[in-house]
Structure 1
Amino acid sequence: MGNNNKHYFYVLQCSDGSYYGGYTVDPERRLAEHNGGKGAKYTRARLPANMIHLEEFGDKGEALRAEYAFKRLSRHQKEQFLKAGELNAQSE
């Protein structure tokens, strides 16, 4: 298996305003799965969901660590993380 596989950590904003963090190798397919009711149990009751953050990693472990770290944050910390991501994207 080559090292050209891409791994992603993503954040969805659900219809109730809550956030869901996850891991995937195919962000478009994963978002379609969530919005088709085939994603995580958490998101099924909170559709539609919008992908508001996406980070690419070189290996699965890094992406899963990012997901784990995000899930441990408080709501306020998640909002700060997402706001910082927007600022970084605008400055690129």
Structure 2
Amino acid sequence: MVGRDAYIAVYIMTNRPYGTLYVGVTGRLAHRIWEHREGVYPGFTRRHGLKRLVWYEPHDDMTVALQREKSIKRWPRDWKINLIERDNPHWDDLYAGLA
């Protein structure tokens, strides 16, 4: 890994605890989360005001990360909430820890 922004990660964004959830994957986590927070691109996250990074999981391989993202997207909402609360029970915004 070159730096915190240079690794592949699956992540979950929300607008508030127990709010709307978005699952994504990226090769530049800090930069991608900044894009979501700034509303750089139109789409689901901007439309729903999803600016809080509440969970992420680093990966070494994009193929594995993409499969994990697809799996999590198919999970029931309760499973995603449990995944978040296992590592981040207060739904803190994890973005500050990336920089």
Q: Give TM class, smaller chain.
A: 0.7 to 0.9
Q: Contact 1:9 / 1:22 at 8 angstroms: preserved in 2?
A: yes
Query: Identity rate of aligned residues, in percent?
Result: 24
Size of the aligned set, in residue pairs, is: 85
User: Partner residue of 2:69?
Assistant: 67
Unaligned runs of 5+ in 2: 90-99
Matches within 5 A, 1:34-73: 34-39=36-41, 41-73=43-75
Matches within 5 A, 1:74-85: 74-85=76-87
User: Partner residue of 1:13?
Assistant: 14
Query: Post-superposition, which runs of at least 4 consecutive aligned residues in structure 1 deviate over 4 A?
Result: none
Task: State TM-score, norm by structure 2.
Answer: 0.72
Q: Contact 1:14 / 1:20 at 8 angstroms: preserved in 2?
A: no
Tell me by how many angstroms 1:46 deviates: 1.6
Task: State TM-score, norm by structure 1.
Answer: 0.76
> What CA RMSD, in Å, does the superposition of the two structures yield over aligned residues?
2.4
Range with greater deviation from structure 2 (7-16 or 59-68): 7-16
Give the distance between the partners of 1:54 and 1:81, measured in 2 at CA. 10
Tell me by how many angstroms 1:76 deviates: 1.1
User: Partner residue of 1:90?
Assistant: none
Tell me by how many angstroms 1:69 deviates: 1.0
Give the distance between the partners of 1:39 and 1:68, measured in 2 at CA. 21
